[in-house]
């Protein structure tokens, strides 16, 4: 799979917290990227842990309280199929234009799963905050999620993020306090025992290992909201950056990537199958994916594909609201073909930008430029 170039024991990944045992294997197939994590934790561990665990809900609400997993599980359970995408997905291609800071992700800092849990809107309603509320009586307008993991960017404090209260209390936004992933208990890598899942929004806001939920007046002042994950124009550099001039990135833009070919890929002239994913943020589904072999002068439309027995790209018209769409096209590679390009269009007719230069930014986030894979022609008798 392109983007997973390191060994599957993750020894070349960023350093891990000691609590996180290696319990995952990289899948040989990108389609199974998220679905293939293996749970090695014992059942007893999970039962004991989950009985003691609670999340405190505090701040500008009338009834601050502590919620246990049983309280959260007593609310209606929803299964939401949603793609989590790191804002740094496809950063490596951006760093080829000019240096950027951040983990060198290729096209695989993304995954799709069925998340099971309670809707945050139901949890807040249980505590007296009605659905579709913009502001509480005490002036709360944002909901902050604080985790148990400590990070150096917060000077040893916890990882945290917030979303607006009107999104948190909107049942249609499908924001979940998730305790399951793909029908299994959430594993530690993905936030056991409880994580936030904010569909359609960059992964950084889906806080894992929840410790507390605070209803606050202003958006969260944490590092990853205020000093990271903001979209700057190409003119901003580390000398003239003013973090306070931009708002935290929330929804992600329309994105697609070819996953069946390496960049650069040796191919023989003839029929070549192109497969990949396309997804857009903010609840916008994918309208279509176009493929070009002549630098964008002409395009053919790819078709949607579906993994057998997966319900996320069903016939249902809204199944791609939060989930990726897998696409496939067969192209005819001739001696003159040098590059294959994919670009997606979302339901609001937003299109991926043509060049990475136009979206370059110093943190290397949101590289949604046309995905280009270089081909190197081999001979049929090789
Ligand atoms: N507590 C906590 N939550 C977190 C993070 C973190 O470092 N700590 N990383 C965030 C980022 S940047 C991303 S992209 C997603 C990744 O989710 P995953 O590990 O389930 O793929 O988790 C988010 N939630
Ligand atoms: Mo991320």
The span from the CA of 289 to the CA of 291, in Å, is 7
284 three-class SS: coil
- pLDDT at residue 52, rounded to an integer: 86
**What b/e readout covers 91-101, taking b as 16+ CB neighbours within 10 angstroms?**
bbbbbebeebe
Q: Ligand 2 mean position to 17 CA, how many Å?
A: 16
DSSP 131-180: SS-SS-TT---EEEEEEEEE-GGGTT-EEEEEEEHHHHT-GGG--EEEEE
Q: Ligand 2 mean position to 308 CA, how many Å?
A: 29
Q: What is the CA radius of gyration of the chain?
A: 21
Nearest to 166 by CA among 225, 215, 224: 215
Domain ranges in the chain with CATH number 2.60.40.650: 255-377
Angle formed at CA 135 by CA 132 and CA 138, multiple of 5 degrees: 135
CB 194 near ligand 1, within 6 Å: no
Q: Is-contact 176 80, C-beta < 8 A?
A: yes
CB 230 near ligand 1, within 6 Å: no
DSSP 346-364: ETT--B--S-GGGG--TT-
> Of 112, 204, 365, which is best to mutate to test ligand 1, by the most ligand atoms within 8 angstroms of its C-beta?
204
CB 149 near ligand 1, within 6 Å: yes
The span from the CA of 345 to the CA of 250, in Å, is 19
pTM of the model: 0.90
CB 190 near ligand 1, within 6 Å: yes
Q: Whose CA is nearest to atom 15 of ligand 1?
A: 203
Predicted confidence band of residue 18 (pLDDT cuts 50, 70, 90): low
Range 357-381 average pLDDT: 91
Q: Whose CA is nearest to atom 1 of ligand 1?
A: 208
The span from the CA of 364 to the CA of 91, in Å, is 5
CB 159 near ligand 1, within 6 Å: yes
Position 286 pLDDT exceeds 70: yes
Q: Which CATH class is domain 255-377?
A: mainly beta
CB 204 near ligand 1, within 6 Å: yes
- Environment of ion ligand 2 (residues, CB < 5 A): 86, 203-204
The span from the CA of 303 to the CA of 291, in Å, is 10
What would the CATH number be for the domain defined by 30-245?
3.90.420.10
Position 37 pLDDT exceeds 50: no
Q: Which tens digits make up the pLDDT trace of 62-98?
A: 999 999 999 999 999 999 999 999 999 999 999 999 9
Position 1 pLDDT exceeds 90: no
- pLDDT at residue 29, rounded to an integer: 36
Give the Cβ contact number of residue 232 at 10 Å. Answer: 18
Domain ranges in the chain with CATH number 3.90.420.10: 30-245
Position 36 pLDDT exceeds 70: no
Q: What is the mean pLDDT of the chain?
A: 89
Nearest to 139 by CA among 60, 220, 221: 60
> What single DSSP character describes residue 251?
B
CB 203 near ligand 1, within 6 Å: yes
151 Cα nearest atom in ligand 1: 7
Position 164 pLDDT exceeds 80: yes
- pLDDT at residue 30, rounded to an integer: 35
- pLDDT at residue 306, rounded to an integer: 76
């Amino acid at each position: 799979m392109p983007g997973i170039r390191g060994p599957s024991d993750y020894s070349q990944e960023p350093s891990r917290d000691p609590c996180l045992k290696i319990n995952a294997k990289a899948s040989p197939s990108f389609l199974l990227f998220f679905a293939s994590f293996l749970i090695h934790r014992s059942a007893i561990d999970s039962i004991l842990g989950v009985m003691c665990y609670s999340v405190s809900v505090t701040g500008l609400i009338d009834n601050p309280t502590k919620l246990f997993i049983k309280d959260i599980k007593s609310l209606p359970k929803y299964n939401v199929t949603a793609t989590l995408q790191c804002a740094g997905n496809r950063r490596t291609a951006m760093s080829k234009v000019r240096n950027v800071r951040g983990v060198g992700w290729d096209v695989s800092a993304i995954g799709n799963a069925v998340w099971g849990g309670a809707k945050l809107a139901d949890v807040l309603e249980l505590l007296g905050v009605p659905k579709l509320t913009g502001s509480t009586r005490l002036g709360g307008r944002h909901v902050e999620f604080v985790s148990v993991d400590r990070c150096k960017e917060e000077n040893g404090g916890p990882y945290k993020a917030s979303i607006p209260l009107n999104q948190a209390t909107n049942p249609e936004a499908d924001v979940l306090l998730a305790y399951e992933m793909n029908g299994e208990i959430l594993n530690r890598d993905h936030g056991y025992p409880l994580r936030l899942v904010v569909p359609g929004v960059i992964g950084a806001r889906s806080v894992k290992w929840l410790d507390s939920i605070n209803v606050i007046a202003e958006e969260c002042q944490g590092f990853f909201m205020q000093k990271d994950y903001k979209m700057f124009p190409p003119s901003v550099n580390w000398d003239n950056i003013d973090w306070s001039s931009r708002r935290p990135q929330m929804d992600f833009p329309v994105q697609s990537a070819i996953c069946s070919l390496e960049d650069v890929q040796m191919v023989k002239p003839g029929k070549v199958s192109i497969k990949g994913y396309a997804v857009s943020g903010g609840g916008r589904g994918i309208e279509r994916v176009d493929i070009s072999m002549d630098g964008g002068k002409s395009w053919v439309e790819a078709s949607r594909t579906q993994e057998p027995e997966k319900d996320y790209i069903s016939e249902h018209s809204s199944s791609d609201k939060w989930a990726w769409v897998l696409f496939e096209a067969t192209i005819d590679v001739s001696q003159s073909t040098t590059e294959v390009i994919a670009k997606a269009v979302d339901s609001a007719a937003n299109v991926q930008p043509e060049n990475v230069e136009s979206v370059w930014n110093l943190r290397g986030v949101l590289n949604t430029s046309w995905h280009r894979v270089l081909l190197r022609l081999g001979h049929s008798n090789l």
